[in-house]
Chain A
């Protein structure tokens, strides 16, 4: 059984293929054009490992938060792929994916830069339970909110001004092992988790008002 893992939420494009419970191949590319590379890379990995597109039986995809455009690339591919193959998707929080990718046992505080002094963040305990709900927050406000916790491990895949972070790449094996027994949900129901409204909505109101 083939599982395809894709992540396009940050400036790293991550792809991994698992056969049954074993990692066959993984690839991480730093790019500002995920759209250009993702399908070519998947095609290359499949060819090299003699996997047919229709062999995929499960898709794991990070659904955000992160780059709006980036998330949509991975999530659209996952949705269409799953729809075409009539299989399910396991949606994964990008922040939790970062927590799962760290090897330091501690409180995990994954951060994704949201620019202008803001981050997307949440806090997980060492068993990956979410203690602080994932949110779009000013880095200074975040620091205040977590004062009562000790031994916090800030995690990110890029430098973030104002905090000292453990710089890591997503670890698809850790993520896969955590989620492998989930059955997933229908592709129709998968939507990105932006954690932030568009500027137009913030000014004028939600689209569904």
Chain B
């Protein structure tokens, strides 16, 4: 069989990334340009600044990608791009890059849903086995997705309010931890002890999540302690908070695994880099004989390697678009499959 090389482009938030993946599992080269340091001083991603940075780096990222490799554009089979969901201004830059390359080089254009991308980051670690339960945890998502086969997504649960990563960032702000707060909370959580009392959010029979109540509980706790002139032990509060987050996520995930009788679990998204979460699932999956897959740390956050990987399987499934492809700030996986298959 002829080798298939997919060029992936990802720019849905504050990372501009391009990658070439061979046959859906072999990484040729990936460039990721993060704007983390730029957005830090604003306390979070500023969409207009992200878009402005993307366009400035656009040609440089491609130039860097194709330098010092034996692959040229004529070897590329198709171009995969994140068309949504994400920040519309950011998405639009990556989308124009992909469409222009597709036109100039006359290569097929494959729209890739951002969450499908995150899920397929797992295929770069080991071949995905089906049926598969995917836990998507990031700044914008907390979803449980059931997959019978490649590119068959069925959402069985999700957050009703804040995404888990969003909750981390907001809780970090309350504790005066600078943006991005998630990784810092994770680090501090390993140093403290579970001494505070916080609720286990939405501890019910559904597969849905809710994190705004937990966030409010942290706000109230910090506020009350301040009023009583008690100092907050940040490390202990981080431990308590993270314990509860990991507890509820793992509890519901394992319940879904049981209910649907699944043997394979894939975790993905920015929060899958959280060591507390990774450790918990490693223990639980070992104990319950579940085949667990997690992306390598560098591919937990946004990157084009996962988009090119998902693009390979999308290409096999006949997902493609003409030049009228537009960016979508919001789009469910279901709508995505309906629109482009």
Residues of A in contact with B (beta carbons under 8 Å apart) = 33, 35-37, 39-40, 42-43, 53-54, 68-69, 72-73, 75-77, 79-81, 83-85, 187-188, 191-192, 194, 198-201, 204-205, 207, 209
Task: Tell me if B184 counts as interface (CB < 8 A to partner A).
Answer: no
Q: Is the CB of A76 within 8 A of B100?
A: yes
* Main SS at interface, chain A: helix
Task: Tell me if B275 counts as interface (CB < 8 A to partner A).
Answer: no
A-B contact count (CB 8 A): 103
- Residues of B in contact, count (CB < 8 Å): 37
Report Cα–Cα, A80/B7, bound state, in Å: 14
Known A39-B100, A40-B323: A79·B58 in contact at CB below 8 Å:
yes
Q: Nearest chain-B residue to A46 (Cβ)?
A: B103
Report Cα–Cα, A205/B39, bound state, in Å: 12
Q: Is the CB of B92 within 8 A of A72?
A: yes
Q: Is the CB of A39 within 8 A of B104?
A: no
A75: chain B residues at CB < 8 Å are 55
Q: What is the minimal beta-carbon distance from A63 to any residue of chain B, in angstroms?
A: 10
Known: A54-B104, A207-B53. 7 other contacts (CB 8 A): A39-B324, A40-B322, A76-B55, A80-B97, A83-B62, A84-B73, A84-B105
Task: Tell me if B68 counts as interface (CB < 8 A to partner A).
Answer: no
Find B100's partner among A40, A69, A84 (CB 8 Å cutoff): A84
Find B326's partner among A36, A188, A198 (CB 8 Å cutoff): A36
Q: Is the CB of B58 within 8 A of A76?
A: yes
Across the A-B interface, give the 9 residue pairs with the lowest CB-CB distance, nearest first. A76-B96, A39-B323, A80-B100, A200-B46, A83-B59, A198-B48, A40-B323, A36-B326, A84-B104
Q: What is the minimal beta-carbon distance from B108 to any residue of chain A, in angstroms?
A: 14
Task: Tell me if B99 counts as interface (CB < 8 A to partner A).
Answer: yes
Q: Is the CB of A72 within 8 A of B59?
A: no
Known A79-B59, A80-B97: A39·B103 in contact at CB below 8 Å:
yes
Task: Tell me if B233 counts as interface (CB < 8 A to partner A).
Answer: no
Report Cα–Cα, A92/B325, bound state, in Å: 27
Report Cα–Cα, A96/B314, bound state, in Å: 45
